[in-house]
Structure 1
Amino acid sequence: MVKRKTTKYAVIAFLAITYTACKTPVITGRTEDKATPLAYNDSTSPDTANTASTSWKQFFSDTYLVALIDTALKNNQELNITLQEIEISRNEIRARKGEYLPFVGVKGGVGVDKVARYTNIGAMEANTEIKPGKEMPEPLGDFGVAAYATWEADIWHKLRNATKAAALRYLATAEGKNFMVTNIISEIAASYFELLALDNQLAILQQNISLQENALKVVRLQKEATRVTELAVRRFEAQLLSTQSMQYTIQQQIVETENKINFLCGRFPGRVNRSTIGFDNLVPATVYAGLPAQLLSNRPDIRKAEQELEAAKLDVKVARAQFYPSLGISAAVGYRAFNPAYLVKTPESLLYSLAGDLVAPLVNRNAIKAAYYSSNAKQVQAAFGYEQTILNAYTEVYNQLSKISNLEKTYALRSKQVEALAQSVDISNNLFTSARADYMEVLLTQRDALEAKFELVETRMQQLNAVVSVYRSLGGGWK
């Protein structure tokens, strides 16, 4: 009767302790907000067509540019480093999977032991006979071989959730690689168009040098005819020298841009093969932005943030499971004897064991609480990061679409400006030749015409780069 009461109280005490141990602190997580505007502008009927679904080999029609991008995606060192990070994440999943599966091993051992005779163990062994007339050997050998297994029963899915979190982080790393691919593609395309623009500016500059050299000859002839002074000659010479010096600045910019492309392609400096088609003939591709909600599936950085958020949620569950009891099971079976001759003798040398442990934290759970609070804070942090990534993606697309529209209007006006200044140059030269205009008017008109041509080329380059940027911002290039 007393024994039954003792057992009853022991069970009640154990359940009370387990209940106390399983109590978890109250935390407040955060549910992410995935809402996006219906469209990128005030249009009431947004189109679902999305340029992000177009392959980069189809989006870029220039064969030289396609070849450069293809080389970069194979040889870029930073991209290859990221691929190894993906492999590291994949191995982390393998390691996590092994934690919730039983661990089975085999062990064997050989040893020898000499116990002092005047001890309790030594005295017992001295009086022990293996069989009548045969005492225990001294020193005593120890030979054994056994198979053993250990396993933590994943009652609360702590280990499985940790494995799922590792898998999600692996997927996030893969999405990070995809985001890097889109950035490399856009960076090479932007640098390539910058290179074509610099080539065009250099050609414009060389044309102007030729025109200014002819103008200088005319001014010198007019000086000989006493129609102008030496001041006019010197001013024309100064302008020619200034224009000639500009070509070396552009040539240096060409070298640096070529080497930037070469670096992205993972190769040493050298000339970059490129199109010789007139830069003025390049027309920016038409971009279809689609719906803002499509960014959630198209943008690799948003997909990466989403995977990291889901992993953070699982981390909270793993941290919560630390408050609950854990069940560990261990077993072993094998043979053990003091003499190899008796090692496989059954049942005398046979050994086996089976044990189970139920462990729950009770006192001083500060470390577990701290890990639990930290995992919750990281989950909230990941939710804010996810929302920020969506907001940033939407803003990028909105800005680039606006930029494309404004640059188109700017290019149209600057084209008219260049045309008007080109006519002004001809008019000023004719007036100067007939002594009806001052030489300063010729110089200023030539300078303004050169600047306008440069600005027109710069605007066209910005147009092309804006299209590349919106393609990247929409999530194109990595598929």
Structure 2
Amino acid sequence: MTRFTPLALALPLALAGCASMAPKYERPAAPVAPAFPALAMSSASTEAASSIAWQRFFADARLKQLIELALTNNRDLRVAILNIEQARAQYQIRRADRLPSLNASVSGSRVPGKDDSINSTYTAGFGVSSFELDLFGRVRSLSDAGLAQYLASEEARKSTHISLVASVANAYLSLLADEELLGLTQKTLAAREESLKLIQLKYDNGVVSKLDLQQGLSLLDSARVVLAQQQRQRAQDLNLLTLLVGQTLPAGPDTSTTLAAMSLSELPAGLPSDLLTVRPDIRAAEQQLIAANANIGAARAAFFPRITLTGSAGSASSELSGLFKSGSYGWSFAPQMVLPIFDYGRNNANLGSAKAGRDIAVAQYEKSVQTAFREVSDALAGQATFGEQLRAQRSVAEAEAERFKLSDLRYRSGAASYLDLLDAQRSLFSAEQAAVQANLQRLQNQVTLYRVLGGGWTAPQ
């Protein structure tokens, strides 16, 4: 007939456990409108942004190279990955608490006895120490909280990945805009230098006054100021892109890309409810809420008795030489139950703290949903208006270019004053700069829309 020790009888009960005392989790209702504002421009594309890999969304070969380098070298993304490893380890620790740990031990003790004798005891064997029978789900709740924290860190890593892809793209577009603005400024500077030569010649021959000459010098120096500003801005944007990529920018494919040649497709908005499943930051906030909910279960279980088991099986002897001889087998079993009676409100305070933490997590989750709704709405508003703004601004630049040409001809023929030419030069330069900036804003808005709709995440190969 098979005999069962008390330890063998207790283990199945411990492994079975009881249901968690955490409240039943229910996802909070999204505190946003059921649809995005009507200003959003409809898109011919029906493919969701989250299903479009960044390698397809960005066609420029140089930009693809920089994004790949950033995903390998960027320190923020590296920290996010390491946070996952730390959260995974913490979850594994919590999960291991739900199972008994078997340890091998050898011990010996010598204590004084009667008549100056020494009593010796030596033991060797296997044992389980302070294993908690999770009858009220405390350990299970802590394990569930650890799992949710781990999943939240995984979602945070995805969010960092998406943000990094968009940041590199926007920095690259800014650098292209800097190149166009720098070229435009250099062209304008050369034109003003030629204009000043003509004014100087007319002044030397007494055709124009010194006032015209000083206005020409002022206009030339203004262009030099803008050139210095553009050179500084380009250097700063290059430094930002280098930081994002995580290394010195390598020589890439010579695609001769210009900002004017860049093209990004329009994206469908979908419904606000779609954001709950595609936005990693929202999913991370929800996992934090699940973890806070599980912590309430652990706090509730602390009001009930905590039963722990300590047991061992092996050999025992009063002499070290007889420790492993036949007949020295022995076992011990020591259950313990602790019931909190007077704790000066500690458990109540822990439960109150856990409930407050859950309420905070609910508010943070709702805020993340509202923030996502606002970000998508803003990007959609940009998609609906930036294209028209760019077309209008380019039309303005073309009109100013024609105006400058006519003013220049009239001034050379003596039919117009230098003040008219000066005003035309300034207006043309401002209009051309505004056209470049409008195009940059349009492209960066498309990148932003791609990001806020959950696009840009691809699993590591």
What corresponds to 2:302 in structure 1?
322
SS of 2:312's partner is strand
Q: Deviations over 1:370-414 (max 9, x none)?
A: 111111111111111111110110011001111222222221221
Q: In the alignment, residue 103 of structure 1 is paired with which amino acid?
A: S
What corresponds to 1:295 in structure 2?
275
Return the match for 2:95 from 79, 94, 97: 97
Q: Deviations over 1:201-243 (max 9, x none)?
A: 1111111122112212222232344321233223212211221
Q: Deviations over 1:324-367 (max 9, x none)?
A: 222222222222222234333454x4332123223222233611
Q: CA deviation at 1:67?
A: 0.7
The answer (yes or no) to whether the contact 1:109–1:145 under 8 Å persists in 2 is yes
Paired with 1:396 and 1:34, the residues of 2 have a C-alpha distance of 15
Q: Where do 5+ consecutive residues of structure 2 fail to align?
A: 1-20
The answer on 1:38 being equivalent to 2:38 is: no
Paired with 2:40 and 2:201, the residues of 1 have a C-alpha distance of 67
The answer (yes or no) to whether the contact 1:325–1:361 under 8 Å persists in 2 is yes
Bigger-Rg structure (1/2): 1
Paired with 1:29 and 1:294, the residues of 2 have a C-alpha distance of 20
Q: Which runs of 4+ in 1 moved over 6 A?
A: 27-31, 43-48, 269-274
Change (3 A) 1:46 1:387: farther
Q: CA deviation at 1:31?
A: 6.4
Paired with 1:97 and 1:449, the residues of 2 have a C-alpha distance of 68
Superposed, which structure 2 residues align to 1:44-443 within 5 Å?
49-115=47-113, 117=115, 138-150=117-129, 151-268=131-248, 275-347=255-327, 349-364=328-343, 366-443=345-422
* Further displaced range: 211-220 or 27-36: 27-36
SS of 1:267's partner is coil
SS of 2:135's partner is coil
Paired with 1:46 and 1:466, the residues of 2 have a C-alpha distance of 15
* Further displaced range: 411-420 or 188-197: 411-420
The answer (yes or no) to whether the contact 2:192–2:220 under 8 Å persists in 1 is yes
Paired with 2:332 and 2:262, the residues of 1 have a C-alpha distance of 80
Paired with 2:90 and 2:437, the residues of 1 have a C-alpha distance of 49
Paired with 1:199 and 1:205, the residues of 2 have a C-alpha distance of 10
SS of 2:358's partner is helix
The answer (yes or no) to whether the contact 1:258–1:272 under 8 Å persists in 2 is no
The answer (yes or no) to whether the contact 2:411–2:421 under 8 Å persists in 1 is yes
Q: In the alignment, residue 231 of structure 2 is paired with which amino acid?
A: Q
Paired with 1:434 and 1:259, the residues of 2 have a C-alpha distance of 48
Q: CA deviation at 1:160?
A: 1.7
Change (3 A) 1:341 1:185: closer
* Further displaced range: 42-51 or 284-293: 42-51
Q: In the alignment, residue 206 of structure 2 is paired with which amino acid?
A: T
Relative to the length of structure 2, the TM-score reads: 0.88
What corresponds to 2:447 in structure 1?
468
Q: CA deviation at 1:166?
A: 0.6
SS of 1:344's partner is coil
* Further displaced range: 171-180 or 411-420: 411-420
Q: CA deviation at 1:281?
A: 2.9
Change (3 A) 1:204 1:81: same
Equivalenced residues, count: 435
Paired with 2:40 and 2:406, the residues of 1 have a C-alpha distance of 51
SS of 1:287's partner is coil
The answer (yes or no) to whether the contact 2:62–2:252 under 8 Å persists in 1 is no
Q: Deviations over 1:281-335 (max 9, x none)?
A: 3334212112211101111100101111111111111111111222222222222
Q: Where do 5+ consecutive residues of structure 1 fail to align?
A: 1-24, 123-137
Paired with 1:284 and 1:100, the residues of 2 have a C-alpha distance of 52
Paired with 1:142 and 1:250, the residues of 2 have a C-alpha distance of 85
Q: CA deviation at 1:180?
A: 0.7
Q: In the alignment, residue 398 of structure 1 is paired with which amino acid?
A: S
SS of 1:110's partner is strand
The answer (yes or no) to whether the contact 1:106–1:146 under 8 Å persists in 2 is yes
